[in-house]
Amino acid sequence: MKLITDAMAQTEQPAAPAQTAPAPAAPTPSPAPSAPATQTSVGAAGGADANQPPSIPDMMAQLVPIFVVMGIVYILVIRPRARREKTEQESLRNVRRGDVIVTTGGLVGKVTKAIDDNEIELEIAANTRIRLIRTAIASVRAKGEPVKDTPAPAPAKAAKPAPETKAKP
């Protein structure tokens, strides 16, 4: 038990200086666990109190890196994605007869007819046609030449043969 009381006594009293002269009397603060610290710390803001809000230049110095990171993310991630989505939407909007497409379900087929703005007719096998909503198109594989709806022109009339000239005897 004596060891415990000696250890407690050493932690409560600071070590005496090596000189034999009496040290100036300084009040020793008693530790109070429930009391808040009343000491003020000197910060980098020129002696401002720790409880006061940061000054405007300090706040701006903290916000500038955040805005720089947001700008980099916008340039590297958001803008390219928006461009890509725009070109994909445009290609899906411009699907027409003869295009080979892939659906979101994995079917590959050729567009035979555009029914309206929202639906197309897709040929997935010989004489097998299905109706498909344009939003179900995953990608356009090959742009085909559009099939003309007009009938083929009538064959040209045979030209009159040139009059035969008789050879002179």
Quick one: pLDDT at residue 5? 75
Tell whether the model's pLDDT for residue 31 goes beyond 90. Answer: no
Confidence band, pLDDT 50/70/90 cuts, at residue 166 = low
Quick one: pLDDT at residue 59? 85
Per the CB < 8 A criterion, the answer to whether 153 and 106 are in contact is no
Confidence band, pLDDT 50/70/90 cuts, at residue 42 = very low
- 118 belongs to a structural domain: yes
Per the CB < 8 A criterion, the answer to whether 144 and 100 are in contact is yes
Number of structural domains, the chain?
2
- 66 belongs to a structural domain: yes
pLDDT tens for each residue of 46-80: 555 668 888 888 888 899 999 999 999 999 999 99
Where helices occur in 54-93 by DSSP H, the ranges are 56-73, 79-93
- 10 belongs to a structural domain: no
Quick one: pLDDT at residue 41? 46
3-state DSSP percent of the chain in helix, strand and coil, to 5: 30, 20, 50
Q: Verify that 128 and 115 share a domain, yes or no.
A: yes
Estimate to the nearest angstrom the gap between the alpha carbon of 97 and the chain centroid. Answer: 34
Q: Verify that 99 and 83 share a domain, yes or no.
A: no
pLDDT tens for each residue of 91-139: 888 888 899 999 999 999 999 998 888 899 999 999 999 999 998 999 8
- 135 belongs to a structural domain: yes
Instruction: Tell me which residue range forms the domain holding 76.
Output: 54-93
What rounded mean pLDDT belongs to the chain?
Answer: 76
Residue labelled with tokens 């700008």 = 71
- Higher pLDDT, residue 12 or 89: 89
Task: Sort 78 into a burial class: Cβ within 10 Å, 0-12 / 13-18 / 19+.
Answer: exposed
